[in-house]
Structure 1
Amino acid sequence: MTSVDREAKDAEAGDTEPGAAAPAGAAAHDTVEAAVRAQLTKALGGVRGMVEAAVPTIGFTVTYMAVKDVKIAVAAGVAACVVLLGIRLVQRSTPQFALNSLVGIAIAAFFALRSGKAEDAFLPGIMLNAGYAVAMILSIVVRWPVVGFIIGSVTGDPTAWRSDPGIVRLCSRLTWLLVLPCLLRVVVQYPIWLADGDQSGPLGAAKIVMGWPLQVAALGAMVWLLARGRTPMRGRETA
């Protein structure tokens, strides 16, 4: 089990304690940095969650390149999601990330089947990344960086973190690290989608390469930044 998986498992266990009050969750973390790191890891689902997000895309792309049939390629992507979901259910582990993949491939399938073009399966992902980037940049500009709400979810007070300028700056830097992968995906993939001809192969390769590997790189940068700080949790100070 990797450190990313261990943090995801620990964070999940901490959130599911029966009857725990919100501020008690803060006691599990001594610092803001530890709380943010644990919550981000949980949100990504560890290595397994990121792999589950990539497998349906691989199935769709490889199948389409082999048979040049959008319907069969969509069926392959959906089948991969169903298998992943089945494994989760058999193991009695959270199906959240497998379900996320299923919803994602369903939306992609709608776009591809409607137009009959395999490359259109990648358009929803490009649009989603653009939307995320705009929303997160706006949150930084108005000094409500989205990562700050992770701290709020741990301390039980969703807005108290804004009273500390140091925490606001930290959350802004972390939010920029979440923005960058989204921007890179749009900058690289959208021009490919606009190009003439069947671009499903290049788009599939770009989506896979810029999927979980890029997310792992962003998470690694966050861990490095968070490891440098020791900002006390306000929830602990006031407990």
Structure 2
Amino acid sequence: MSEREATETAAGTGASAAAPGGGPAREPAGASAAPASAHDTVEAAVRAQLSKALGGVRGMIEAAVPTIGFTATYVASKDIKLSVGVGVGAAVVLLLVRLVQRTSVQFVLNSLVGIAIAAFFALRSGKAEDAFLPGIMLNAGYAAAMIFSIVVRWPLVGFIIGSVTGDPTAWRSDPGIVRLCSRLTWLLVLPCALRVAVQYPIYLSSGDQSGLLGAAKIAMGWPLQVAALATMVWLLTRGRTPLPAGEDAGESGAA
């Protein structure tokens, strides 16, 4: 930032602090663009957002525990209602622990909603394998949506960059960034497509396939997701693409 721009920004901040009528000071117009200065490159911004998306080891465990509880209980007892109770109960316990500790409930809520939907399908049909159908359908939907976003040149990962810069669409003006985001989005498509390709034929097989489906769901859950994200991080360490719209954000704040 030049000396002139710094002076104008300081003046704008001072003016906003003295709000007419003695009211509360208003936040400077450029404050919403602050996150853009936190990262210098597209790669750094996406790496930071991906680390949040994982939720750490605890988030991975919270995502897997309800499914493990449901599957293990059904394999041992063949009782759908008991298995559903164990799966949902495990998610509720994890949620209560989060609430007591006053930590983020995002990942355990996702897990609770997922097991609740699975329980509805299983209880409605009386077949344990139907508990896995919503997950298969969801992965198919995610894969289709992401592939469509790539085809129309609005790759999903681009909106991660938009969330950092404060401008959700500025990244599309740079063909290099669009290509990078397309490659990264393909890496997110791959786990979803693999889950459908493996689990749906198992679901269609005759007989009770709930044990096999449960094992496939656990093995192809976070492990696949972590592998995809690790590949994305590796790809992101190879380049240094400047973030778009950083200067525009600063100018809009000075105005």
| Partner in structure 1 of residue 22 of structure 2 | none
Counterpart in 2 of 1:29? 39
Asked if structure 1 preserves the Cα contact closer than 8 Å seen for 2:147 and 2:189, the reply is yes
Q: How does 1:1-239 map to 2 (within 5 A)?
A: 21-238=31-248, 239=250
- Give deviations 1:3-24, integer Å, cap 9, x for gaps: xxxxxxxxxxxxxxxx793311
Paired with 2:136 and 2:58, the residues of 1 have a C-alpha distance of 23
C-alpha distance in 1 between matches for 2:76 and 2:174: 55
**How far off its partner does 1:89 sit?**
1.1
* Residues 27, 235 of structure 1: 8 Å contact kept: no
In structure 1, how many angstroms separate the alpha carbons of the residues matched to 2:155 and 2:168?
12
Q: Distance in 2 between matches of 1:160 and 1:177?
A: 22
Quick one: distance in 2 between partners of 1:37 and 1:121? 34
Measured in 2, the distance between the counterparts of 1:235 and 1:60 equals: 48
Q: Secondary structure at the match of 2:90?
A: helix
Is the CA contact 2:170–2:245 (under 8 Å) kept in the aligned structure 1?
no
Q: 2:57 & 2:247 partners in 1: Cα distance?
A: 33
Identity of aligned residues (%): 81
1:159 aligned partner, one-letter code:
T
Q: Deviation string for 1:52-91 (max 9, x for gaps)?
A: 1111100000010111100000000011101111111121
Runs of 4+ residues deviating >2 angstroms:
19-22, 234-239
Gaps of 5+ in 1: 1-18
Which is worse superposed, 48-57 or 165-174? 48-57
Matched residue SS, 2:211: helix
RMSD: 1.2
Q: Distance in 2 between matches of 1:81 and 1:67?
A: 20
CA distance in 1 between counterparts of 2:216 and 2:179 reads: 32
Residues of 2 paired with 1:230 and 1:181: CA distance?
Answer: 26
Aligned residue type for 2:219: V
1:129–1:185 CA contact under 8 A, matched in 2: yes
**Distance verdict in 2 for CA 1:191–1:98, change over 3 Å:** same
Structure 2: state its 5+ residue gaps. Answer: 1-26, 251-255
Question: Shift of residue 235 of structure 1?
Answer: 4.3
Confirm or deny: 8 A CA contact 1:30 1:236 kept in the other structure.
Answer: no
What secondary structure sits across from 2:240 in the alignment?
coil
The answer to whether the 8 A contact 1:49-1:97 is kept is yes
Residues 159-181 of structure 1 deviation map (CA, whole Å, 9 limit, x = unaligned): 00000001000000000000000
